[in-house]
Amino acid sequence: MIQKEIQIFFNALVFYSRIPGPSWIKHSEDNLNKATRYFPLIGWIVGGISIITFLLANQILPKNISLVLSMVAGILTTGGFHEDGFADVCDGFGGGWTKSKILEIMKDSRVGTYGGLGLVLMLLLKFFSLSEIPENLLITSILVGHTVSRFLASSFIFTHQYVREDALSKAKPVAKKLSYKNLFIAAFFGISPLFIFPNLTYLLVIIPLFIIKWWLGKYFIKWIGGYTGDCLGATQQISEIVILLSVIIISITQNLI
């Protein structure tokens, strides 16, 4: 049982990051489906690496430069996996007007105008959001941003239909099923960092996240009938920014009360 869970965890680690796993790990579609429950746990690892990078850099460098290095560390750890999905979604939904055209564009490995603009604006918004978060909330916010956003993305696998590609598709593999048990495990790893915040008011970040999931789900269904792996990556990136912005708004509101 323990050995099987270790196999599943390393499937998640290798698939969702650039961190290498042991050579004896067996990769399979079944393991990938089950590995989704550890997707938010990978957020702990990526968030931890980002936090450590920021803390070390901030010993000798200004805060803003340290934040950029922290973002770089996170991107290097995942190989830009989710950023790539976000860019593909921007290109696909920005340049395509039919389901087949959107899916075709998203399969293209090249980054177009919509993807390039989307990435630049998204990274700028993420950086400036992090720079505006109060010092006492910054570390927790980075961790929460990585974990909760990954849970929200993985929840699509439970609530929505995967859009199957044709047999010649070169799209990345993606988990297509999520059981109640795996959803609960993912929720535990994803949501638990919220309780590290100094008070329960910050649990309110869940509200805009539910709204953004509802809107994205409705949008994806309207245009392509469900989700793809790129949609999950885009959801993770958008949710991370929504979390950071929510923390800023809540902290401002509390100071005004």
**Which parts of the chain register pLDDT below 70?**
164-176, 256-257
Q: Report the pLDDT value the prediction gives residue 254, as an integer from 0 to 100.
A: 86
Q: How many domains does the chain have?
A: 1
| pLDDT at position 165 | 58
HSE-up of residue 155 (Cα within 13 Å, Cβ side): 22
Alpha carbon of 202 to those of 143, 151, 163, 254: distances in Å?
Answer: 14, 17, 34, 10
Per 3-state DSSP, what percentage of the chain is helix, strand, and coil (rounded to 5)?
75, 0, 20
In this prediction, residue 31 carries a pLDDT of 81
Global pTM value: 0.93
pLDDT for res 115: 95
Q: Which two tokens stand for residue 40?
A: 């938010």
Quote the pLDDT of residue 26: 79
What pLDDT is recorded for position 169?
47
Distance CA 165, CA 187 (A): 28
Q: What is the pLDDT of residue 113?
A: 92
Q: 108 lies in which domain range?
A: 2-256
